[in-house]
Structure 1
Amino acid sequence: MNVIVNGVRAIVFGFHKQVFLLHPKARSLPTDKLRISYAAINGVIYVIQVCIWLYLWIDDNSVVEFIGKVFIAAVSFIAALGFLLYGGRLFFMLKRFPIESKGRRKKLNEVGSVTAICFTCFLIRCSVVVLSAFDSDASLDVLDHPVLNLIYYMVF
């Protein structure tokens, strides 16, 4: 399950990186600093998440668990906004491109649909994690139920 989830995550964040870097490239702007900032931001987020997991492993604290859930919700919300902002900009920039071609239409459909799907999925994930943070009955801890775990990660 972890291999599938990590593979999907790598594909989504790989596309997010492409959308993040394509817009400046299309305007002939330098992307060297964007690559460094993208990698640094992702690195910081992963380090914070690992620190939260380690702290919870050492001392199972409900306050830290709440903070971890809110952190994941905030990261999911920011990712959703990132997809909407950069994917939307790229979509409208491609739409304004004057030459009518099959490749342009294909890329326009690809960017528009992936942007909409990723924005929607991250926003739903944010909502579900926030709900689980504030409602103890809506737990996302489905590790004892592999089928529920599969459904959760495949849907959200």
Structure 2
Amino acid sequence: MTNCNHQPSNIWMKVCIWIYIWIDDNSVVEFIGRIFIAAVSFLAALGFLLYGGRLFFMLRRFPIESKGRRKKLHEVGSVTAICFTCFLIRCFVVILSAFDSDASLDVLDHPILNLIYYMLVEILPSALVLYILRKLPPKRISAQYHPIR
């Protein structure tokens, strides 16, 4: 579930922090950058929990005989849980790396650790969400629109 939280202002803020770090490698700016990323991840996790939870409970109030209710409940609940969990994991890992110099996310010497981290917070959640939402709804043809033959 990656990049769900990237609004244009967040991206520009991140780019400005990276440029400043590139020009003047300052540990305080790196710390601020990590706290910023952790805060954005935490807000994204809360957003998924709040809006996904509201949609889930709204769908539960639909009549039981509603067509596709159980499937939609499963989809919304699964996507909400996956995205919330992954953004929360990212938040905790980035906070840990900000306060503990031994727990740096820049583990270029350890490609297995990089693979595990990005599999957990980037690739696996994206694959699960795509798998859950793989079926597109059928196209509706308007009663007023008739294709030209």
Measure how far apart 1:74 and its partner are: 0.2
Return the TM-score normalized by structure 1. 0.72
Structure 1: stretches of 5+ with no match in the other structure: 1-7, 17-40
Does 2:78 align with 1:113?
A: yes
Which has a greater percent of helix?
Answer: 1
Higher radius of gyration, 1 or 2:
2
Find 1:9's aligned residue among 2, 14, 19: 2
**How many residues get paired?**
121
What displacement does 1:99 show?
A: 4.5
1:52 to 1, 17, 20: 17
Summarize the alignment of residues 24-63 of structure 1 with structure 2, pairs less than 5 Å apart. Answer: 42-63=7-28
**C-alpha displacement of 1:144:** 3.9
| TM-score, length of structure 2 as denominator length | 0.75
Residue 109 of structure 1: CA displacement? Answer: 0.3
* Greater shift in the superposed pair: 94-103 or 109-118: 94-103
Cα RMSD after superposing both structures:
1.7
Following the alignment from structure 1 to structure 2, what is the Cα–Cα distance between the partners of residues 100 and 52? 52
1:77 Cα deviation from its structure 2 partner: 0.3
Q: Which amino acid aligns with 1:155?
A: L
99-108 or 50-59: bigger deviation: 99-108
Q: Whose RCO is larger (CA < 8 A, sep 6+)? A: 2
**Superimposed CA distance per residue, residues 65-105 of structure 1 (whole angstroms, 9 cap, x where no aligned partner):** 00000000000000000000000000000110114245111
